[in-house]
Structure 1
Amino acid sequence: MKAALIVVDMQEDFCPPNGSLAVQGARDIAPTINKLLANPGFAIRIVSQDYHPETHISFASNHPPPNNRPFESYVQMNNPALGKHDEVKPQRLWPVHCVAGTKGAAIIPEIDTSRVDLTVKKGMNPRVEMYSVFSDAFGNRDPVVNAQSVSADLKEFLTGQKITDVFSVGLAGDFCVKYTALDAALEGFRSYLVEDATRCVSPDEGWADARKELEAAGVSIIRSDGPEIGGLSKKN
């Protein structure tokens, strides 16, 4: 067993009090995440950042009214992959957030990034959403396709480090953390989501639905004080 920790999108725009897409209680999980970052059982520690251009398709302000209400409206999004442009998905619209180079895109100072081995910027292609650190909203994993969306091929990096187990934490549990954990399982890693080291956009219904989806995909939902974390240093 060789474990990696992925800290997903612990950024200013996702955190109170001033984040444009703030998740309730987001800053409260920083001490738990730092404890995980300090755990010697993790061979690799990764941080991800949403890093959008101003023209990103998910920003409500980039669409004309009346279909431009944040959280409520949806637009049609096309697959950016060559030969698949006719494939479409509905894209939920959000307030402008995590624009590249802005304060809102920065990792919050409460997170101890001194221990991080790799920072991955994602969601950089203006035409497509990217919740997971591994793939865009259409599940594209081809490095050529994803080169416009993400700064690193995470599967290639983890495989090169001989990682077998991936633990996902951060924001938000019902979106980017969920999809990262699901993709980790799809990529062949043993995948875990650390529940007390996440917060959700919709902590009730949203998390209940996400939990069912994760469990159905074989993702283990654990706690930071559970045996899966406690036994890491003995296995690595």
Structure 2
Amino acid sequence: MKPALLVIDVQNDFCPGGALAVKDGDKIVPLINKLIPLFETIVYSRDWHPQNHISFANPPQFTDQSWPVHCVANTRGADFHPDLLFTLNSVLIEKGTNPNEDAYSAFQGTSLSQILHKLGVDTVFTTGLATDYCVKATALDALADGFQVYLLQDACKGVDNPSGTVVNAINEMSHAGVKIINAGEVETVL
């Protein structure tokens, strides 16, 4: 097994006080930090939107995939959570950079697939924000691209708007073939 840890969108705007805050989104940071020493390959994705991004709406509708302005490139909101650890050889993926197209998956419109294949990665462990949107889309795209995929459900948090979307997302991922585990089980899998 050649694993990679995927850290999806642990950014200020998705944490408490941010423009599109996920409840307790910052609470997963210590858990992710404990996982980092277990992996040689670590990928960090981040929303990196232009100011005129298509998903922005005022007021946002949420249910129609319109959102408040968030994670605008080169702003504090787009920065990673300040307590999130990085390694020297981390891979950074920026998504949602096209103003006319939204991208929930770290694979969509990026070179992530090519990078992972070039590194010989065959298994990915997904963490981050938000379980019911970007984490789910990334996990399902990783499966479609031939990777074995684990969701570390306690190292993710979801928007859960409307209520039930997190449970539905986990069920959808599980039915598709994503293995659902907790962070404490990673060492037994590696």
Normalising by the smaller structure, the TM-score range is: over 0.9
Whole-angstrom CA distance in 2 between matches of 1:24 and 1:115: 30
Query: Does residue 1:103 correspond to 2:76, yes or no?
Result: yes
TM-score (norm 1): 0.77
Deviations 1:163-193 (A, max 9, x none): 1100110000011011111111100000011
Q: Considering only CA atoms, is the larger Rg found in Structure 1 or Structure 2?
A: 1
**1:117 to partner: Cα distance:** 1.6
**1:115 to partner: Cα distance:** 5.0
Selected match of 1:201 from 159, 162, 180: 159
Q: Report the number of matched residues.
A: 189
**Residues 45 and 115 in structure 1, CA contact (< 8 A), matched pair in contact too:** no
Partner residue in 2 for 1:141: none
Whole-angstrom CA distance in 2 between matches of 1:183 and 1:120: 15
Unaligned runs of 5+ in 2: none
Equivalent residues in 2 for 1:27-38 (5 A)? 27-38=26-37
Whole-angstrom CA distance in 2 between matches of 1:212 and 1:33: 22
Equivalent residues in 2 for 1:57-72 (5 A)? 57-61=54-58, 68-72=59-63
One-letter identity of the residue aligned with 1:217: A
Equivalent residues in 2 for 1:133-148 (5 A)? 133-135=106-108, 146=109
Selected match of 2:126 from 144, 168, 183: 168
Deviations 1:90-125 (A, max 9, x none): xx1100000000000000111001355211111000
Partner residue in 1 for 2:40: 43
Whole-angstrom CA distance in 2 between matches of 1:116 and 1:173: 26
Whole-angstrom CA distance in 1 between matches of 2:89 and 2:70: 23
Whole-angstrom CA distance in 2 between matches of 1:110 and 1:43: 20
Deviations 1:165-222 (A, max 9, x none): 0011000001101111111110000001100000000085011110121012100111
Query: Does residue 1:225 correspond to 2:184, yes or no?
Result: yes
TM-score (norm 2): 0.95
Equivalent residues in 2 for 1:48-197 (5 A)? 48-61=45-58, 68-72=59-63, 74=64, 92-114=65-87, 117-135=90-108, 146=109, 150=110, 153-197=111-155
Whole-angstrom CA distance in 1 between matches of 2:183 and 2:126: 11
Alpha-carbon RMSD: 1.5
One-letter identity of the residue aligned with 2:11: Q
Identity across aligned pairs (percent)?
Answer: 42
One-letter identity of the residue aligned with 1:169: T
SS at match of 1:6: strand
